[in-house]
Amino acid sequence: MAELNDDTVVKHAENAVFRKTGSEIVLLTPEEGTLHVLNDVSGRIWELCTGPASIESIVDKITAEYEVERERAASDTRDTISRFMDLGLVTTA
């Protein structure tokens, strides 16, 4: 898993393939032909990764928009972005 700190700046990978229909976001990893249907929060984190954006700024927005404790938002955001990075869909800017 990728190591992320507050200052890490991330963005969508140049070749990331995804779709947004209504409020739903679906990511594709073409190499395996796998679809990843995102839930509401992951979908918002994905949008915020359009970037370039720092992890800190994304955590700020998630904390405010979902009215959750910052610590919880920070750990969820990092986990989600690490997963996007492992799939090759987000890179550091």
Partner 1 sequence: MSESIILSRLLSHKQDEPFPTQLNVELTHRCNLRCSHCYLEYNAGRDELTADEWVEVMQQCLEMGIMFIAFTGGEAFLRPDTLSIAGRAKELGLFFHFQSNGTCIDRDVADELKRLNPTMVELTIMGDTPKLHDGITGSPGSFEKALAAASMLLERSIRVKLKTTVISGNWKSVQAMRRLAEGMGAAFQPDPLVMPGVFGGEEPVSCRMNDEEFQQFALSEGWDQPLGEEAAAAIAELDSPEKHLICAAARYRFTVTPSGEVIPCVLWRVPCGNIREQSLREIWEGEPMAGLRKTTVKDMPDCRGCKLLSDCVRCPGLAYMESGDSLLKSEENCRMSRIISQLKAENRP
Instruction: Provide the β-strand partners of residue 11.
Output: 91
Q: Tokens standing for 3?
A: 């190591």
Give the relative orientation of helices 70-86 and 40-48 as an angle to the nearest 10 degrees.
70
Contact (Cβ atoms closer than 8 angstroms) between residue 91 and residue 85: yes
**Looking only at residues 36 through 55 of this chain, which bind partner 1 when binding is defined by CB under 8 A?**
37, 39-40
What mask, x for binding partner 1 by CB under 8 A, covers residues 52 to 91?
----------------------------------------
Residue 66 CB neighbours (<10 A) = 13
Q: Does 20 bind partner 1 (CB under 8 A)?
A: yes
- 5/15 with CB nearer partner 1: 15
Decide if residue 19 touches partner 1 (CB under 8 A).
Answer: yes
List interacting residues with partner 1 (CB under 8 A). 14-15, 17-24, 26, 28, 30, 35, 37, 39-40
